[in-house]
Structure 1
Amino acid sequence: MGVRSCTDGGACSILQPMNATKSVTPTVHALPKRLFARSGLTLPSLLAASTCLSVSAAPRELFVSPRGDDGNVGTKQQPFRTLLRAMQAVRELRHPAGGVTVFLRGGTYELTEKLTFRPEDSGTATSPVTYASYPGERAVLSGGRRIAGLWRQSPGKPYLETPVPEAREGKWVFNSLYVNGRSRERARTPNWGEKVFRAEERAPGEDERQAFRYRPGDIDASWSNLNDADLVLLCSWTPTLHRIEEVLPDRRVVRFHSSHTRAVDAWEQHFRYYVSNVFEALDQPGEWYLNQHTGVLYYYPLPGEDLATAEVVAPTVKSRLVEFLGDVSGGGFVEHLQFRDLDFRHVDGDLDRYNGMYRQGHMFLDAAIYAQGLRSSAFVNCEIAQVGEYAIELADGCRDNRVEHCHIWDVGAGAMQLGVTDLNRLLGDRAPASGEDWHSEREVLANVIDNNFIHRLGTLWHGCYGIVNRFASLTQLTHNEITDTHWDAIGLDARWNWKGETYSHGNVVAYNHLHHLGLRYHTDAGGVYEFGPLDTHIHHNLIHDTVAYPYICGYAGVYLDEQSRGALVENNLVYNVDWFAYFQHKGMDNTFRNNIGAFARDGLFFRGGLNDQWRANYCETYRNVYVANDAVALRNAWEPGLKPPVLHDNLYFSLATGTDVTFAGKSFAEWQAQGLDQGSVVGDPGFVDPARYDFSLKPAAAATKGVGFVPFDDEIKKAGLYGDETWRKLPEKYTPRTSSAVWTPEDLAKLIAFRLDFEDLPDGYEPSTFRLAKEGDATFAVTSEAASVGQKSYKCTDRKGLKKPFYPYIHLAPKKLSEGTITFCFDAMQHKGDPAPFYVEFRGAGSTNDVGPSIRFGKDGNVEANGKTVLTAEPGTWCHLEIAFELGAEAPKEYSLVTEYRGERQTQRLPFRHQTFGELSWLGVSASDDVDGVFYLDEVELGIE
């Protein structure tokens, strides 16, 4: 599989075994025979499918021109005008010997509706059909229309306007605008690159999925056409877009539709968002706004942009520009088509259709080029740009197709979706009596995505995959260069609790160049990310320069997530990444070997995600080399799990002078004493110039001698694009977008401060100020049973026999709060008849081993700090406490405690429990014992200065 003739002198090897040396001709990756048997394919059929078709007779030729006429005969001298007429002519030719080539003369072909290919439009193996630009010219298939009206300056404004009468009539409403060959930003607030908004909290009394309270000044109920504006909630990895339904300014509440199951603050308490399509936010060059009620389009030109001569295009076609609709269930496929040297442009994203929807990677989205039942076909040297959703989708029943040497950029979502998105639909074809060898024609197999340049993704929907392989097998993702995207560059996402492995296996990700990824909007990402498939081979990928939203997870090089099983990760080079170089989370039986990692925020590797359900989270990690520019070789400790991971024969080194590398804070000797990294060494591996990213090994380098590392210097240089110099240097013409600014820890500290008196909250309400962990009716909730001031307080009900004895508890988690003065005040009362013990605790980065102030309330009314009784408050009576301390390099390692009870006020200074405490990462209140009981809190206030 993956055989290709290489005649241009560029790198042509798709797949190489680990010890391979430089080769001239490509090799076929060795796949288990069972994979071919399972799929119903043979090796010869795979080889034939992935090579260019060769026919002996010359193809028949038809011609299309923007200046042609569909009444013509389709010759060069008398060309057709439309592709539809050319397609009809192809059908009428009935597969002539040698096939048919349809040449499109240069120019733009405006499509007012999507173009559909059906089985009757197919070629055959001996009579293929090709659609191509005429040599030396370039044909553009456009789903858009030029804005033809005259532009005039809006009175007193820096932007211009032009009438679009069809918008007022509802006949032409668009979400995308393309100026001089590039998409422009819908007017938004805050602007791109600025710090986004932070929500105040969930909206009390509202659906926690469909409303929140905004901070003063962030949303204005007087905005024009408020119900046309979209909220973009950034979440962690995949954001959601929601049309505003209502704003209640007296409560500072915004309502919207959402089909997401999670609460708005599932990932962060003061979650991030921005508002798009707001006329009053039209304040930056490159932004635009369409008032669909008055039929006026506004645009703020970039410096030097003259709208009198600019090409301004708005899409008329939504989602799909071209579709291939095979009859998968009936066995009728669209086959043997090739599209060469064509441009596909100007398609809109359908924001109405997907309002409020969520799925990881936005895999519910459509594609400009959508196919089901497409086989033995190819897109070669095409450009897909300025489209609103995904660029290409090869869905149910697509097999033996190629996407090669294509330029895919300026895309509303991601570049490509491959495979069946819903395993239930695939399995739905199975008859009850089907045996083990049954396979569905819906299975997606043996597609090759090779030598494509992909960049500037997510212009409408952030958090999309660059390329995602879903339930698809034997896919080759090779030699692609992907840059300037928010989230995962390459994803293999086929999850189904191990049941879907048969339908996503044997995939190869090799020789890709993935770089300058992440724009600080999203996190929990990887250059190559996997969730679910079986036995993926990930090798010879060059991955570098990733950035993540800094307060959740990070952006790794290679990331094997849940249900990844039997993957082999080898011969990859990863550096300058904003998390681990290599990472496994809840996977099984994966191998990481002979890789290079360097300058990763959290070191070479981590195996995480252990819990009762994932005790078999196993991997083997060996013969890898890691170079740090600080002291961190491995940042995190490893839990052993049911089947301890094998970590051995690795080499670690730091370029920092006089620095000893550390392993979860331990020395190398202490690390090995735990049984980890046996056979591993610390020392200079012998790279030529790692500080300048030259990881070639010197002769007789220590890495090869010390741990048996096998050099792959020559092979890694083949990662990325190959071909002529113009193609290989094309990425140099495009500058990636700059990363967005983010809130600093000092900014976030201002959000954390709060005061709760609970008076305006309904009984039973669970305030979102704190994160709540509960079980059954063991919870914290507002009550009218008691109050120290007013009528209401915060009641904690504890129960005996809970799965976790420290439940219920509330907490908040500040982000890297290491400077300032912290004060925490509250009133407390234990129930007179059923008192419940609890504690209030401040923790640092080291969790329970890094505690500052810690106050415990006993069942008998004793209040202790540092094991010393500081107050006795009889159950059924209120007491008041104030805790204050400073954070900073010179701050004392102690805190002030004020207690007030029955009119007596006392102040004392006490040491932190641990002298290491210097950063507030967790403040919590926990019902600490396994008992039935109740306590109350009131007048709770946190101050940060």
Structure 2
Amino acid sequence: MKMYFRRLSAMAVGQVAAFLAFLPMEAQVSLYVSPAGSADGNGSMDAPYRCIEDAQAAARNVPAAEVTIWLRGGSYQLEHPLVFTAEDTGGERKMLCIRSYPGEQAVLTSGVPLSLRWETHKGGVVKARVHQRVMMDMLLVNGELRPMARYPNYDSAAVRLNGVAADAADPKRVKRWKHFEGGYLHAMHGHDWGDFHYRITGKDSKGELILEGGWQNNRPSRPHPQNRMVENILEELDAPGEWYYDSGKGCLYYYPLPGEKVEQLRFETPQLKHLVEFRGCEERPVRNITLQGLKFTQTVRTFMEEYEPLLRSDWRIYRGGAVLLEGTEGCRIADCDFRLLGGNAVFFSGYHRNSSVSGCLFEQIGASAVCMVGKPEAVRSPSFSYGSNAEPDEMDFTPGPKTEEYPSRCVVSDNLIHHIGLFEKQVAGVELSMCSHILVSHNTIYDVPRAGINVSEGTWGGHRIVYNDVFNTVLETGDHGAFNSWGRDRFWSSSNKRIRQLLQARPDLVLADAGSCTTLACNRFRCDRGWDIDLDDGSSNYHIYNNLCLNGGIKLREGFYRVVENNIMVNNTFHPHVWFPRSGDVFVRNLVMSLYRPIGISHWGAEVDYNVFADSTAYRAARGGGTDEHSVVYVPEFVNPEEGDFRLANVEELASLCGFKNFGMDDFGVTSPRLKALAARPPMPLPAVCTEGNGTRVWEWSGLRLKTLDTLGERSATGMDSERGVYVVSVHAMGSPLRDFIRPNDVILRLSGKPVNRLEDLQEIVQAADWTKPQEVTVFREQREQSKAIPAGTLRKP
């Protein structure tokens, strides 16, 4: 049954509501909206509403039924967020869907087109008056983001912040600036654990900048002395594509790209932080609303908004997004596109049950893609800084949450997430904090500055993180992983002595927050600048199995009751850090390809045994350390590693010896045809096996594992013209000073101006080099030679 509504006077609303009350409960109602609709449209196909709010108001008068608001293709420019409340669905049976009309795409945006008349300024720069009353935080030209005037200039190939310089805020440089109020200083954390942002408000008598900000990271430090940049400074407008807005004069300056004719370009600037908001609560939730097939774009940057700590994780976060959901049940975001957003894309805040995000594309996102974040009020005895703890005599020992103000039984599935963290670096493709039993499955996540998937603490576990494909992670930060978790719950302390004391007194407290086991299974992870799986600082109660780790291995720091079994660690190994007595940890039936990397280990948990070592030296070292009594040495023969099939041939023999079993290699990542056609896949490593008598020699230097490139497979994987150079097998996650310059799968061809044809050449050059001076290394990467300058003092002479 279809019904169409005319606009109603306030007097008529009651009459229509009374009529609609007699509709059958299974009624299906369709309303139509079009950017070309007229002001007196009635919501029919032939006379659609012009505004989404008109259809929303009409839908509220429909009794329990299935209501679909069809948005015809085109752009819907929002002057304020579209807000849904409990009134939009009423009873539990009513369903409301807002979706694009079949074959068309509706675009929700806060971008305002600018009316500009350009004139010449100087040095290739043009300028125009902006007569509209707009906020100029981001500028899009023909739908593409342009950088603010900045120093150093934008460099898409730079490791951090698209280019950094130690003198970005040096008084000598600042002295040149006349227009600096409203500019920004962006800097990495002192340990590259995230980033800081500051608004420039002035400068003092010494020429030092006066700054406001720096509250974005929960592990405070001074801004990194080298990794910093400034933007929104008129005097730094010196590169094609840059722009600057003088808010006092209302004047926009732009340096066109080569070949651009500014009169023919479309200039837009976003105005809103949020495009859609669901405003409910546990007592009056927003129920059964679906956003489907929509595109969300152009929101402003939020790095200077109010941030809050996510308990004791490294994160602070802005609780908002292009779609902000607060207090929902059974709400869905399906098959939508999120692109060119200044902050978070989708943020679930507080109470949620059985809501989901699926089939969506996230690209060019300023901060995180999907966040599930509960309220601190739901946490018992919460602490908010790294070094703080509730004292035992003041602690609530009751297990589990205190209130229901957190997401639970929600789903993040079949989403393609890439190129996020454009403006903020302490971000994730999927962020879980103060929530429970979240299903994170079949997502493809890559090109992110920090973790692909992050779990901020153990509250309250029960997550299933399965069949995801996560790679090209930790691109701008350090000490992290493709999957990262912290476990800084009630029992955990930055003091190991205090943990031991508390464990002695209250061992039950270990799982008071992480009470349900989190499953990490059947994923493919690759991190070239960290660990593939990084369970940090007390992460507890995990079952980790059937994961393919392509480069960074698995790390477990502190924590309790982790069972790690039947995983494959290509060209890497197991990294146990600081385990406590009776941790209950288990590491069995895993394939490792190099020496274990223990740090601070005097207790080896409940069991470390029945593993498969590709390296006989690594096996003997493990046996000498008191583990792996029943483990075996087996030179792995992978079925087809070039194509990503790392199943083992003759696995039946291994299964009889230690119980290792093959697992599927073709079900990682997104499943919907639309997203599969768009998704990239990780580069596949070439297995480097070093065992007695096989002739392969692997050298470890400054966190790099290296070998002579001497096989046809290595030539094929790297694109080299011949079997020459030194192949980079892996880059160690912890403390490799070369990880900003050399990547896994690189081929080193020259160092210090001298050719490198084999491993022995490199060893001789390294030994003879003067590392107190800058050195140049030339690598073959991405089908071409690239030279990188290694700064003086980066390395010491071996």
Normalised to the residue count of structure 1, the TM-score between the two structures is 0.61
Note the C-alpha offset of 1:62. Answer: 0.5
After superposition, the Cα gap between the structure-2 partners of 1:315 and 1:522, relative to the gap in structure 1 and judged at 3 Å, is: same
Aligned to 2:438, which of 449, 461, 475?
475
What's the secondary structure of 2:98's corresponding residue? strand
Partner residue in 1 for 2:620: 669
Give the counterpart of 1:402 among 349, 356, 360: 356
Residue in 1 that maps onto 2:612: 651
Match of 1:717 among 666, 682, 697: 666
Counterpart of 1:76?
45
Please report how far the alpha carbon of residue 244 of structure 1 lies from its aligned counterpart in structure 2 after TM superposition.
Answer: 2.3
In 2, the alpha carbon distance for the partners of 1:514 and 1:104 equals: 34
Q: For the residues of structure 2 that align with 1:625 and 1:733, how far apart are their CA atoms? A: 23
Aligned-pair identity in percent equals: 24
**Are the counterparts in 1 of residues 329 and 352 from structure 2 also a CA contact under 8 Å?**
yes
- Name the residue aligned to 2:752: none
Q: 1:300 & 1:59 partners in 2: Cα distance?
A: 53
Q: How big is the shift at 1:250?
A: 4.2
Deviation at 1:254?
A: 6.0
1:279–1:289 Cα contact (<8 Å) kept: yes
Instruction: Note the 1:793-808 alignment, pairs <5 A.
Output: none
What corresponds to 1:524 in structure 2? 479
Number of residue pairs matched? 630
Check the 8 A contact 2:151/2:231 in 1, yes or no.
yes
Question: What letter corresponds to residue 481 of structure 1 in structure 2?
Answer: T
Runs of 5+ consecutive residues of structure 1 not aligned to the other structure = 1-54, 201-212, 496-500, 549-554, 654-659, 736-744, 746-812, 818-886, 893-918, 924-943
1:638-787 equivalences under 5 Å are 638-641=599-602, 644=605, 646-653=607-614, 662-663=617-618, 668-690=619-641, 693-700=644-651, 703-713=654-664, 716-724=665-673, 726-732=674-680
The whole-number CA distance in structure 1 between the counterparts of 2:415 and 2:158 is 32
Q: Which among 90, 99, 105 is matched to residue 132 of structure 1?
A: 99
**Which among 886, 889, 893 is matched to residue 767 of structure 2?**
889
416, 426, 432: which one pairs with 2:370?
Answer: 416
- Give the distance between the partners of 1:620 and 1:437, measured in 2 at CA: 25
Q: How does 1:24-173 map to 2 (within 5 A)?
A: 57=26, 59-96=28-65, 99-122=66-89, 124-157=91-124, 159-166=125-132, 171-173=133-135
2:531 counterpart of 1:556: yes
CA displacement at 1:147 relative to structure 2? 1.8
2:228 is aligned to 273
Specify the SS of the correspondent of 2:263. coil
C-alpha displacement of 1:71: 2.8
Taking a change above 3 Å as real, the CA distance of residues 60 and 179 of structure 1, as seen in their structure-2 partners, is same
Higher relative contact order (CA 8 A, sep 6+): 1
Q: Distance in 1 between matches of 2:208 and 2:400?
A: 60
1:232 paired residue number = 186
1:472 alignment partner, SS class:
coil
**What is the CA–CA distance in structure 1 between the aligned matches of 2:424 and 2:400, rounded to whole Å?**
40
Indicate which of 247, 260, 263 corresponds to 1:308. 263
C-alpha deviation, 1:639, in angstroms: 3.4
1:243 and 2:199 correspond: yes
The superposition leaves residues 879-911 of structure 1 with CA deviations (integer Å, 9 ceiling, x where unpaired) of xxxxxxxx962599xxxxxxxxxxxxxxxxxxx
1:224 Cα deviation (Å)? 3.6
Distance 1:583 1:86, change over 3 A: same
Over 3 Å counting, the alpha-carbon distance change for 1:58 and 1:181 in structure 2 is farther
Structure 1, residues 167-225: CA drift from partner, whole Å, max 9, x if none?
xxxx422322223333332222223344755659xxxxxxxxxxxx96675x4233242
Whether the 8 Å contact between 1:426 and 1:443 is mirrored in structure 2 is no
Gaps of 5+ in 2: 1-23, 383-394, 488-513, 684-701, 703-734, 740-764, 771-791
Output one character per residue of 1:432-468: Cα deviation in whole Å (capped at 9) or x when no partner: 9999898633232111111011111111212211110
Give the counterpart letter for 2:329 in structure 1: R
Q: 1:357 to 1:372 in 2, by over 3 A?
A: closer
Structure 1 residues 95 and 301: alpha-carbon distance in aligned structure 2, compared to 1, 3 A threshold:
farther
> d(CA) in 1 for partners of 2:205 and 2:409?
55
SS at match of 2:623: helix
| 8 Å Cα contact 1:258-1:356 kept in structure 2 | no
Provide the rounded CA distance (Å) in 2 between the counterparts of 1:569 and 1:220: 51
* Deviation digits for residues 794-821 of structure 1 (CA, Å, limit 9, x no counterpart): xxxxxxxxxxxxxxxxxxx99589xxxx
For residue 540 of structure 1, the aligned residue among 512, 517, 522 is 522
* 1:597 matched residue in structure 2: 569
Q: Normalising by structure 2, what TM-score?
A: 0.72
> CA separation in 1, counterparts of 2:330 and 2:637?
47
DSSP-derived class of the 1:113 partner: coil
CA gap 1:365/1:226 in 2 versus in 1, 3 angstroms: farther
Give the Å deviation of 1:365: 4.4
How far residue 344 of structure 1 moved from its aligned partner, in angstroms, is 1.3
SS at match of 1:308: helix
Q: Return the offset for 1:355.
A: 8.8
**CA 421–605 in structure 1, closer or farther in 2 if over 3 Å, else same:** farther
Structure 1 or 2, whichever has the larger Rg, is 1
The change in CA–CA distance for 1:179 and 1:250 in structure 2 (over 3 A counts) is same
**Alpha-carbon shift at residue 722 of structure 1 (Å):** 0.9
Aligned equivalents of 2:301, 2:404: Cα separation in 1: 30
* Contact 1:178-1:386 at 8 Å conserved across structures: no
8 Å contact kept, 1:569–1:592:
yes
Q: CA 1:890–1:86 in 2, change beyond 3 Å: closer, same or farther?
A: closer
| CA distance in 2: counterparts of 1:410 and 1:334, whole angstroms | 29
How big is each residue's C-alpha offset from its partner over 1:687-743, in whole Å with a ceiling of 9 and x where there is no partner?
123366431332446543443211113xx311111122x4311125999xxxxxxxx
Q: Distance in 1 between matches of 2:609 and 2:678?
A: 41
C-alpha distance in structure 1 between counterparts of 2:70 and 2:213, whole Å: 47
Q: One-letter code of the match for 2:131?
A: P
Does structure 1 retain, via aligned residues, the 8 Å contact 2:309–2:317? Answer: no
Pair 1:478–1:59, CA change in 2 (3 A): same
SS of the residue corresponding to residue 322 of structure 2 reads strand
Query: Residues 264 and 271 of structure 1 are in contact (CA less than 8 Å); yes or no, is this contact kept in structure 2?
Result: no
Distance change (3 Å), C-alpha of 1:439 and 1:587? closer
Change (3 A) 1:221 1:618: farther
The CA deviation at 1:299 is: 3.1
- Match of residue 622 from structure 1: 588
Equivalent positions of 1:232-381 (< 5 A) are: 232-235=186-189, 236-248=192-204, 250=206, 255-259=211-215, 264-265=221-222, 270-317=225-272, 319-328=273-282, 331-354=283-306, 360-381=314-335
Structure 1 position 280, deviation (Å): 2.6
Residue 11 (structure 1) aligns with: none
Deviation string, structure 1 residues 649-705 (Cα, Å, up to 9, x no partner): 22222xxxxxx6654xxxx32431221232222221221233664313324465434
Corresponding residue for residue 933 of structure 1: none
**What secondary structure does 1:671 align onto?**
helix
Amino acid at match of 2:229: Y
Contact 2:578 2:599 in 1 (8 A): no
Equivalent residue, structure 2, for 1:871: none
**Kindly tell me: are residues 890 and 482 of structure 1, through their superposed partners in 2, closer, same or farther at Cα, counting changes over 3 Å?**
closer
Q: 2:554 matched to 1:587?
A: no
* Alpha-carbon distance, 1:248 to partner: 4.6
Structure 1 residues 251 and 814 mapped into 2: Cα distance closer, same or farther (>3 Å)? farther
Structure 1 residues 125 and 283 mapped into 2: Cα distance closer, same or farther (>3 Å)?
A: same
Shift of 1:542: 1.1
Give 1:507's aligned residue. Answer: 463
| SS of match in other structure, 2:428 | coil
TM-align CA RMSD: 3.7
Deviations 1:520-558 (A, max 9, x none): x201221111123551100111112x343xxxxxx2111
Quote the Cα distance in structure 2 between the aligned partners of 1:216 and 1:439.
51
Alignment of 1:921-936 (within 5 A): none
Q: C-alpha distance in 2, partners of 1:355/1:282?
A: 30
Tell me which residue corresponds to 1:859. Answer: none
